[in-house]
Amino acid sequence: MSALPEFEKHGEQEIKYTTCYMCACRCGIKVTVQDNKVRYIQGNRHHPINKGVLCAKGNAGIMKQQSPARLHQPMRRKPGTERGAGEFEPISWDEALDTLSARLQKIRETDPRKLAFFTGRDQMQALTGLWATQFGTYNWAAHGGFCSVNMAAGGLYTTGFAFWEFGDPDWDRTKYHMLWGVAEDHASNPIKIGLEKLKRSGGKFVAINPVRTGYQAIADEWVGIKPGTDGLFALSMLHVLLKNDQFDWDFLVRYTNATQLVVQTPGQKGDGLILRDEAGNPQVWELEKEAFVDGSQVDIKPALFGEYTAPDGRPVKTVMTLLAERYLADEYSPENTAAVTGIPAEQTERLALEMAHVAFKETIELDIEWTDSWGRKHDKVFGRPVSMHAMRGISAHSNGFQTCRAIHLLQIMLGSVDCPGGHLAKPPYPKHIPPGIKPAKECAPNTPLKSPPLGFPTAPEDLVIDDDGNPLRIDKAFSWDAPVSNHGMMHMVVTNAVNADPYPIDTLIFFMANMSWNSTMNTAEVMDMLRSKDENGEYKIPFLVVSDAFNSEMVSFADLVLPDTTYLERYDTISMLDRPISEPAAAADSIRHPILEPDRNVRPWQEVMVELAGRLKFPAFTKDDGSRKFSDYKDFIVNFEKEPGIGFLSGYRGKDGQSHLRGEPNPKQWEAYIENQGFFLYHLAPNQQFYRYANKDYLELAKHAGWVGKTDPITIEIYSETQQRFKLAGQGLYDGPQPTKQEHKDRLTQYFDPLPIWHKPLEQTRIDEDEYPFYAVNQRPMFMYHSWDSQNAWLRQICAQNYLYMNRQKAESMGIEDLSWVWLESHNGKIRVQVKLIEGCEPSTVWTWNAIGKQKGAWGLKPEANESQKGFLMNHLISELLPKKGDPIDNITNSDPVTGQAAWYDLKVKITPAGPDEQSAWPQFDEVKATPGMSESPDQLRYHAHKPVHLNRDIRDVLTRGSLDDEKN
């Protein structure tokens, strides 16, 4: 036996902890560095998010660090060259920042909204939002409007928390999990960890998705739904629950507005609003007193069902009555929904009843004492162990807001909201419904906004429109087009700015957003728009600034490029003021800090933001004497306070680092985070972990920590008065702003509803569905993050070309063969793609991986790379505006009419075989040029952090040791 050599020289290695940023899941990583090279990136097993595991992307961090596409220095478009040609000349940081701050200064002094600042898949909205607020432009938003605002809004207007990053299934206790339209999501690792727990404990996993790959592969039951019909499916299950008298009566009475009374005066002002007393308290019918009482009191016995006449003579009904009347109707019976959803009636009924069984016959009881908001003590916590999670399969449809509400409604009926085994909130959620912030409406020179650019309207008064009802924001968020667009509408910015609709802008800053390619709808035309000039030969978007770390497709369109660092090279915070890394049972936030020194002339965007804020003398960044408050980003994070004691990082506050959640700035806060492996975890006591909408101890903590503004209980809104107010405005029955255009009136009356509705996705109402018979959707591949990872030498080996996947039997019936090329055509254009046949796809659906297709030459890829020669983008087919019909709706965004959520997955297409000389991807675009400083991408890679260690076996070993069979002989 020869001994094994010493393989790793640990003495030469250093271990550092930070946060992964190969995607937005924000896992903790443990990085082994040797010789200023990364030896190994592994999951941090103490980290709340990933508990030691790491996904494929996270494991490929080394190759991101090696990427030939990394930008090297600040650059400006070469004078005399055209925008989009990708001709750049390097400039110094001083020059770059001087140019930019001079320009911004002028805008700020005159008309601040002429700066539009939009950010993509970043995790620093707390900072960029603050920056925009301080600058004084409401033309700011992050990517949420094209990403998943429907999920956020659907939840925040219903339960006070949401799917997306605001809640999690109780994976440890759930016995039944329904996953709606999720391929990967932001909780990439947590969902995988959770699904395994569920399966190991014998729970059932049901996946609702037109495609069976990824998570759906391991589903115990796959429901291959037709895209865009989930709302109807959910409401049909609700119908079954009602029919069989299966709902959580106690829960509905205690924690929701199900017992509140709704005024029933159709055609009159006030119709559909909650009956309130003078003080504004919602009224319920008290069964013992047989009288109307304030429904926010406790120890009353309100009627769940019933119709009454209010003291003022108006007829009223309980919310639950309205709900039951609506969903008991035949149109929601499984037999009647089957044709639309494609789900057999038997299955819809059985799934609903299975959930009822698990919720009500397998209830969990935990001996946890807790106190409710009214000070009453309880000695037990009850759990309905049915959980759900939903994401972009729901969100990316124009009916997604309503569908999301319908799914939450199912959970509410089952009583599985923030209870053991159900859907749990993650601090700082839940919040009051909706959160109390309203979008800023006014911009004035040299003045910060009065409130943040984004917020939560509850009535037409909150819209960001002028007196004539026209949009004020460049993306037309919070206008009649999409009143509740909480996250803005980034997908409309380029189109609107180029059309000067509502007005022209001066400077557009894109940070971390590939808006000329995969992150935009209608890619080819958007590229043209970015290049378009007015009659004077000036660019319609006069100045375009791009902050990117890599030579993406977007970079070529920049007038000024500010190169960022990689995630291993910078300080960063994942802040409690944003969407932190909390777990249901613990509040948590985290940081990044430099693991490697950048070898290029690049600066973190965080530093650039703070620097610009200082130069422009934003009040929050400037001392009374006019000097700078913060020397750099680190200093800013330590010392900035949003309100006394509340800053970007919630842990290790106070002079001694001992105050958590709230406390004075701690000059050694960064050091404390670094020492604690890059994160801070504040465990909630068992009595603070459930029913947090009405949990005294939790809400007091939440108020202390600044997560909520008041400790009042949060009443779950089955019935959304916000929705009704906008509907009334559409009906002309609202005391306050009302739309003047017929199309807006129609949209408000049709698509707003206080109880969830299902309607056909909008695109489908404006095209000939017989002509475009296929639904076309995308999925996130688990091993790629949007456009980022085609530059990753390891990840692109897994997939460098995407295909159009279609149901095998369907394809065969059309004579379409595996690997053949076809034309895919929508109302907005056509592309040529290669087909792969698959069993696991609903027959009328086709799909592909998102963002694999690349522009030739981008991302450090060679011109012959598969991504550009054979891969494709579905985006060309998707229009940012609704299909043209020659009516006023032609110019309305292709988005959810409630939230402005981009309706990516409403797309319908037709498929025709391509000709024999059409065997490649189309369209093709000009080659993206390398930028200064980039070196030629290598033809071979042999990455290693240290030399391989020889096994050094001696000759005797070689001669005598072969297989085990040898030994046995």
Ligand X SMILES: Nc1nc2c(c(=O)[nH]1)N[C@H]1C(S)=C(S)[C@@H](COP(=O)(O)OP(=O)(O)OC[C@H]3O[C@@H](n4cnc5c(=O)[nH]c(N)nc54)[C@H](O)[C@@H]3O)O[C@H]1N2
Taking the complex as a whole, the smallest distance from the CB of residue 576 to other proteins amounts, in Å, to: 25
Q: Which segment (140-148, 284-292, 698-706, 718-726) binds Mo ion by CB under 5 A?
A: 140-148
Site for ligand X in 6-25 (CB under 6 A): 23-24
Residue among 73, 807, 834, 848 that touches other proteins (CB under 8 A) = 807
Q: What CA–CA distances, in Å, run from 866 to 70, 204, 545, 860? A: 20, 40, 30, 13
Site for other proteins in 737-796 (CB under 8 A): 782-783, 791, 793-796
Q: Collapsing DSSP states into helix, strand and coil, what is residue 378?
A: strand
Residue among 18, 189, 209, 582 that touches ligand SF4 (CB under 6 A) = 189
Taking the complex as a whole, the smallest distance from the CB of residue 901 to Mo ion amounts, in Å, to: 11
Rounded distance, CA 392 to CA 779, Å? 9
| Residue type at 201 in one-letter notation | S
Tell me whether residue 73 or residue 125 sits nearer to ligand SF4 (CB atom): 125
Query: Does residue 147 bind Mo ion (CB under 5 A)?
Result: yes
DSSP state, 267? T
Select the binding partner of residue 40 from other proteins, ligand X, Mo ion, none (C-beta < 5 to 8 A, by kind): other proteins
Half-sphere exposure of 585 (CA within 13 A, CB side): 11
DSSP state, 841? B
Taking the complex as a whole, the smallest distance from the CB of residue 674 to ligand X amounts, in Å, to: 20
Residue among 169, 224, 393, 651 that touches ligand X (CB under 6 A) = 393
Q: Which segment (51-59, 542-550, 633-641, 949-957) binds ligand SF4 by CB under 6 A?
A: 51-59
CB atoms near residue 279 (< 10 Å): 7
The tokens for 232 are: 């109807």
Select the binding partner of residue 147 from other proteins, ligand SF4, Mo ion, none (C-beta < 5 to 8 A, by kind): Mo ion
* 3-class DSSP string for 325-361: HHHCCHHHCHHHHHHHHCCCHHHHHHHHHHHHHHHHH
Q: What are phi and psi of 455, to 5 degrees?
A: -165, -160
How close are the terminal C-alpha atoms of the chain, in Å?
17
Q: What are phi and psi of 696, to 5 degrees?
A: -55, -50
Interaction pattern, residues 548-567, with ligand SF4; x per rule: CB under 6 A: --------------------
Tell me whether residue 333 or residue 514 sits nearer to ligand X (CB atom): 514
Select the binding partner of residue 532 from ligand X, ligand SF4, other proteins, none (C-beta < 5 to 8 A, by kind): none
Query: Does residue 586 bind other proteins (CB under 8 A)?
Result: no
Select the binding partner of residue 768 from Mo ion, other proteins, ligand X, none (C-beta < 5 to 8 A, by kind): none
Residue whose entry in the numeric block shows the structure tokens 């700020």: 108
Rounded distance, CA 427 to CA 762, Å? 35
Query: Does residue 188 bind ligand SF4 (CB under 6 A)?
Result: yes
Site for other proteins in 170-229 (CB under 8 A): 176, 188-189, 192-193, 195-196, 199-200, 202, 204, 212-218, 220-222, 224
Q: What CA–CA distances, in Å, run from 319 to 43, 254, 303, 717? A: 48, 14, 10, 10
Burial (CB count within 10 angstroms: exposed 0-12, middle 13-18, buried 19+), residue 484: buried
Q: Collapsing DSSP states into helix, strand and coil, what is residue 833?
A: strand
Site for other proteins in 428-447 (CB under 8 A): none
Site for other proteins in 219-248 (CB under 8 A): 220-222, 224, 242-246
Q: Which segment (47-55, 607-615, 616-624, 899-907) binds other proteins by CB under 8 A?
A: 47-55
How many residues lie near other proteins (CB under 8 A)?
133
Q: Nearest Cα to 876, choosing from 784, 776, 790?
A: 776
Query: Does residue 25 bind ligand SF4 (CB under 6 A)?
Result: yes
Select the binding partner of residue 488 from other proteins, Mo ion, ligand SF4, none (C-beta < 5 to 8 A, by kind): none
Residues 308, 285: contact at Cβ < 8 Å? Answer: yes
| DSSP string computed for 859-923 | GG--TT-HHHHT---GGGG--SBPPP-SSGGGGSBSB-TTT--B-GGG-EEEEEEPPTT--S-B-
Taking the complex as a whole, the smallest distance from the CB of residue 790 to Mo ion amounts, in Å, to: 17
Rounded distance, CA 550 to CA 385, Å? 45
Query: Does residue 590 bind ligand SF4 (CB under 6 A)?
Result: no
Interaction pattern, residues 899-928, with ligand X; x per rule: CB under 6 A: -----xx-----------------------
Q: CA-CA-CA-CA torsion for 932, 938, 943, 948, nearest 10 degrees?
A: -140
Q: Which segment (17-25, 91-99, 265-273, 423-431) binds ligand SF4 by CB under 6 A?
A: 17-25
Tell me whether residue 64 or residue 910 sits nearer to ligand X (CB atom): 64
Q: Nearest Cα to 210, choosing from 237, 180, 240?
A: 180
Task: Name every residue whose Cβ is closer than 8 Å to that of residue 221 and which is 6 or more positions away in sequence.
Answer: 204, 205, 206, 207, 351
Q: Which segment (177-185, 262-270, 326-334, 659-667) binds ligand X by CB under 6 A?
A: 177-185
Taking the complex as a whole, the smallest distance from the CB of residue 397 to ligand X amounts, in Å, to: 6
Residues 166, 178: contact at Cβ < 8 Å? Answer: no
Interaction pattern, residues 470-509, with ligand SF4; x per rule: CB under 6 A: ----------------------------------------
Taking the complex as a whole, the smallest distance from the CB of residue 390 to Mo ion amounts, in Å, to: 14
Query: Does residue 942 bind other proteins (CB under 8 A)?
Result: yes
Residue among 54, 182, 338, 407 that touches ligand SF4 (CB under 6 A) = 54
**Omega within 30 of 0 (cis) for the link into 471:** no
Helices 93-110 and 605-615: crossing angle in degrees, nearest 10, is 50
Select the binding partner of residue 956 from other proteins, Mo ion, ligand X, none (C-beta < 5 to 8 A, by kind): none
Interaction pattern, residues 672-711, with ligand X; x per rule: CB under 6 A: ----------------------------------------
Query: Does residue 379 bind other proteins (CB under 8 A)?
Result: no
From its phi and psi, is residue 739 left (phi > 0), alpha (psi between -120 and 50) or beta?
beta
Which strands, in side-by-side order, build the sheet including 307-309?
Answer: 261-263, 315-318, 307-309
Alpha-carbon torsion 697, 703, 707, 710, what sign? Answer: positive
Site for other proteins in 101-140 (CB under 8 A): none
* 3-class DSSP string for 413-445: HHCCECCCCCEEECCCCCCCCCCCCCCCCCCEC
Tell me whether residue 91 or residue 225 sits nearer to ligand X (CB atom): 225
**Nearest residue by C-beta to ligand SF4?**
58
Q: CA-CA-CA-CA torsion for 211, 213, 215, 216, nearest 10 degrees?
A: 50
Interaction pattern, residues 31-50, with ligand SF4; x per rule: CB under 6 A: -------------------x
Select the binding partner of residue 796 from other proteins, Mo ion, ligand X, none (C-beta < 5 to 8 A, by kind): other proteins
Task: Name every residue whose Cβ is closer than 8 Å to that of residue 519 and which is 6 or more positions away in sequence.
Answer: 120, 143, 146, 513, 786, 787
Site for ligand SF4 in 56-85 (CB under 6 A): 57-58
Interaction pattern, residues 606-635, with other proteins; x per rule: CB under 8 A: ------------------------------
Show the DSSP H helices in 582-695 as ranges: 605-615, 633-639, 669-675
Select the binding partner of residue 26 from ligand X, ligand SF4, Mo ion, none (C-beta < 5 to 8 A, by kind): ligand SF4
Q: Which residues make up the interface to ligand X (CB under 6 A)?
A: 23-24, 120-121, 143, 146-148, 180-186, 188, 208-211, 225, 227-228, 230, 391-393, 397, 511-514, 518-519, 547-550, 552, 554, 564, 567, 605, 777-780, 782, 784-788, 847, 850, 874-875, 904-905
Query: Which residues make up the interface to ligand SF4 (CB under 6 A)?
Result: 20, 22-23, 25-27, 50, 54-55, 57-58, 188-189
